[in-house]
Amino acid sequence: MHDDRTLIEARLKRVLDERIRPAVYPESIPLDVAVWTAPGEPVPVAEGLAATPEPTAVGAAWGAPWATSWFRVIGTVPKEWAGKTVEAILDLGFDENMPGFQCEGLVYRPDGTPVKGLNPRNQWVRIAAPATGGEDVHLHIEGASNPVILDYHPFLPTQLGDKETAGSEPQYKLARMDLAVFDETVWQLVIDLEVLGELMQELPEDSGRRYAVVRAIGRALDAVDLQDVNGSAPAARAELEAVLASPAEPSAHRISAVGHAHIDSAWLWPLRETVRKVARTTSNMTALLEDEPDFVFAMSQAQQWAWVKEHRPEVWTKVKKAVADGRFVPAGGMWVESDTNMPGSEAMARQFVHGKRFFLDEFGVENDEAWLPDTFGFAAGLPQIIKAAGSKWLLTQKISWSQTNRFPHHTFNWEGIDGTRIFTHFPPVDTYNCSMKGSEIAHAAKNFKDKGVARHSLAPTGWGDGGGGTTREMIAKAGRLSNLEGSATVEWETPAAFFEKAEAEYPNAPVWVGELYLELHRATLTSQAGTKQGNRRSEHLLREAELWAATAAVRSPEFSYPYEELDRIWKTVLLHQFHDILPGSSIAWVHREARATYAAVADELNGIIDAAQRALAGEEGGTGTLVFNSTPHTREGVPAGGARPATVDGQSAIASRADGGYVLDNGLLRVEIDAHGLIVSAYDIVADRETVAPGLAANLPQIHADFPNMWDAWDVDEFYRNTVTDLTEADAVEPGESEPGKDGASVRVVRSFGDSRLTQVLSLAPGSTRIDIDTEVDWHETEKFLKLAFPLDIHAERYASETQFGHFYRATHTNTSWEAAKFEACNHRFVHMEEPGWGVALVTDSTYGHDVTRTVRATGDAGTTTTVRVSLLRAPRFPDPETDQGVHRFRHALVPGAGIGDAVREGYRINLPERRITGGTEVAPLVTVDNDAVVVTAVKLADDGSGDVVVRFHESRGGRAKATLTAGFPVGSVAVTDLLERPLADAAEPERAGDGVALTLRPFELVTLRLTRA
Answer for the pair 262, 432: CB distance below 8 angstroms, yes or no. yes
Name the helix (H) or strand (E) containing 868: strand 864-874
Q: Which residues contact 249 (CB under 8 A, 6 or more apart)?
A: 485
Q: Give the span between the Cα atoms of 69 and 110, in whole angstroms.
A: 16
Query: Can you list the pairs that 34-41 forms with residues at least 24 positions away whose Cβ atoms lie under 8 Å?
Result: 34/71, 34/72, 35/60, 35/62, 35/69, 35/70, 35/71, 35/72, 36/69, 36/70, 36/72, 37/62, 37/63, 37/64, 37/67, 37/68, 37/69, 37/70, 38/67, 38/68, 38/69, 38/70, 41/68, 41/272
Q: What are the Cα distances from residue 577, in Å, to 352, 516, 573, 651, 912?
A: 13, 18, 7, 42, 20
* DSSP string computed for 15-83: HIIIIIGGGGS--EEEPEEEEEE-SSS---HHHHHHS--EEE-TT-EE--TT-EEEEEEEEE--GGGTT
State which amino acid sits at residue 456.
H
Closest by CA to 846, choosing from 798, 783, 893, 900, is 893
Q: What are the Cα distances from residue 861, in Å, to 254, 332, 657, 865?
A: 61, 55, 25, 11
Q: Give the span between the Cα atoms of 164 and 183, in whole angstroms.
A: 46
Alpha-carbon torsion, ordered 52, 57, 61, 64, to 10 deg: 20
Pairing of β 489-492 and β 949-955: unpaired
Q: What are the Cα distances from residue 89, in Å, to 59, 127, 550, 629, 741?
A: 15, 10, 58, 64, 71
Answer for the pair 1000, 960: CB distance below 8 angstroms, yes or no. yes
Q: What are phi and psi of 871, to 5 degrees?
A: -90, 125
Answer for the pair 974, 990: CB distance below 8 angstroms, yes or no. yes
State which amino acid sits at residue 798.
R
755 is catalytic: no
Give the CA count within 13 Å in the CB-facing half-sphere of 408. 8
Answer for the pair 692, 698: CB distance below 8 angstroms, yes or no. yes
Q: Give the span between the Cα atoms of 977 and 957, in whole angstroms.
A: 23
* Alpha-carbon Rg for the chain in angstroms: 31
Beta bridge partners of 869: 789, 851
Beta bridge partners of 114: 108
Task: Assign residue 262 a region (left: φ > 0; alpha: ψ between -120 and 50; beta: otherwise).
Answer: beta
**Choosing from 162, 178, 192, 374, which is the catalytic residue?**
374
Q: What are phi and psi of 619, to 5 degrees?
A: -60, -35
Give the CA count within 13 Å in the CB-facing half-sphere of 171. 26
Print burial letters for 694-703: b (CB count within 10 Å at least 16), e (below 16): eebbbbbbbb
3-state secondary structure of 476: helix
* DSSP string computed for 328-381: EEE-S-SSS-B-SSSS-HHHHHHHHHHHHHHHHHHH-----EEEETT-S-B-TT
Q: Give the span between the Cα atoms of 518 and 375, in whole angstroms.
A: 9
Answer for the pair 630, 545: CB distance below 8 angstroms, yes or no. no
3-state secondary structure of 310: helix
Q: Give the span between the Cα atoms of 404 and 712, in whole angstroms.
A: 19
Distance of CA 825 to the CA centre of its chain: 16
Q: Give the span between the Cα atoms of 287 and 999, in whole angstroms.
A: 54
3-state secondary structure of 852: strand
**Catalytic machinery residues:** 374
